Structure 1
Amino acid sequence: MASIAKAHSHCGNSLAFLADGETVVQLTEHGSGGRNQELALAAAEGIAGLDNVLIFSVASDGTDGSTDAVGGIVDRFTWSRLEKAGLSIHQILANNSAYHALKQVDGLIRTGPIGTNVNDVLVLLIQQAERT
C-alpha cells in the first residue's frame, strides 16, 4: 500500500484504494497486536513525509488479534513519532508488538466487538489540495 501511495500521491486527484481479505502474520515472538495493526504499521515508514496520505486496516468483527483494537491507522507522522520514542518499526514487527507501538502514537482504532466476521478491510486515502 505504501508503494501505491507513493506512485499516486502527486497525481492531482483525490483517491481511495480499498482492499479486502485477510493477511497472514508470521508469529515469531509473543507480542501484542493483530494482522491489521501489523499491516498498518508496516506501511508507516513507506508513507513517511507524504502529507496527503492516510492508511488504515481494520477487522470487520471488531477485534484484531487478542487485543481491544480493531486495527491500526498511520500517516506521515507515525514513523517519525516512533523514531523519536526510540522505537524501530522493523524491531516492532519482528517482535509482533504492533499494538504497543501504535498505542504510543495514537494509531489504534477501537470499536469494540461487532460480532459479524466478514473480512478485513484496508483503506488508502490520498487527498489532493482543492483547485481554485
Structure 2
Amino acid sequence: MAKAARGGPGLTLWGGETTVVLRGEGRGGRNQELALRVALALRDLGAPWAFLSGGTDGRDGPTDAAGAIVDDGTLARIAAAGLDVEAMLARNDSYPALRAAGDLLITGPTGTNVADLQILRVGLGAPRLAG
C-alpha cells in the first residue's frame, strides 16, 4: 500500500479481509483500524491522498460503521480533538478517533457480504464525495 502511494498520482483498489491483533478493549473494527494505520503510514507522503476501507455488509466489528474514509488531514483533526492516535490503536480503539475526525463510513446494513473493499487515491486533487 505504501509502495502504491509513493508511485505517484493514481487510484489503487483491492479487496479482502485484514486481521487485527487484539491488544485492548477499545471499540472499532478491522477496517477502521486499517484506515488509521494507513493515515499514520502516509502522514509524510507530501501529496494529497484519501483512503477508504469498508465492509460490503455495512458493518465493521461491533460498531455501526462499515469502516472509514481517511485523508491527509485525518491525523490533524484527531489531534485537534485532543486524542492520541497511536495510544488509541494500542488499545484497538479506532472508532472514537475516527468519529472525532468525522471520518467514519456509516452506510447501514447493505444485505450483502462480498468482501472488504479498500481504495487509495493519491494526488489528483482533493477527493470529493457526492452526497
TM-score higher than 0.5: yes
Deviant stretches of 4+, over 6 Å: none
When normalised by structure 1's length, the TM-score is 0.85
Paired residues in the alignment total 124
Contact 2:54/2:60, CA 8 A, preserved across alignment? yes
Of 42, 48, 52 in structure 1, the residue corresponding to residue 43 of structure 2 is 48
The equivalent residue for 2:4 is: 4
The equivalent residue for 1:93 is: 89
How far apart are 1:3 and its partner, in Å?
Answer: 4.2
How far apart are 1:51 and its partner, in Å?
Answer: 4.2
> Aligned partners of 2:4, 2:86: CA distance in 1, in Å?
20
Contact 1:30/1:95, CA 8 A, preserved across alignment? yes
- Comparing 58-67 and 45-54, the one that deviates more: 45-54
> Aligned partners of 1:26, 1:46: CA distance in 2, in Å?
18
Unpaired segments of 5 or more residues in structure 1? none
The equivalent residue for 1:66 is: 62
- Comparing 76-85 and 55-64, the one that deviates more: 76-85
Unpaired segments of 5 or more residues in structure 2? 126-131
The equivalent residue for 2:18 is: 23
RMSD: 1.6
Contact 2:47/2:122, CA 8 A, preserved across alignment? no
* Identical residues among aligned pairs (%): 43
Contact 1:48/1:80, CA 8 A, preserved across alignment? no
Instruction: Give the letter aligned to residue 34 of structure 1.
Output: G
> Aligned partners of 1:87, 1:107: CA distance in 2, in Å?
14
Bigger CA radius of gyration:
1
- Comparing 66-75 and 39-48, the one that deviates more: 39-48
How far apart are 1:73 and its partner, in Å?
Answer: 1.1
> Aligned partners of 2:23, 2:73: CA distance in 1, in Å?
27
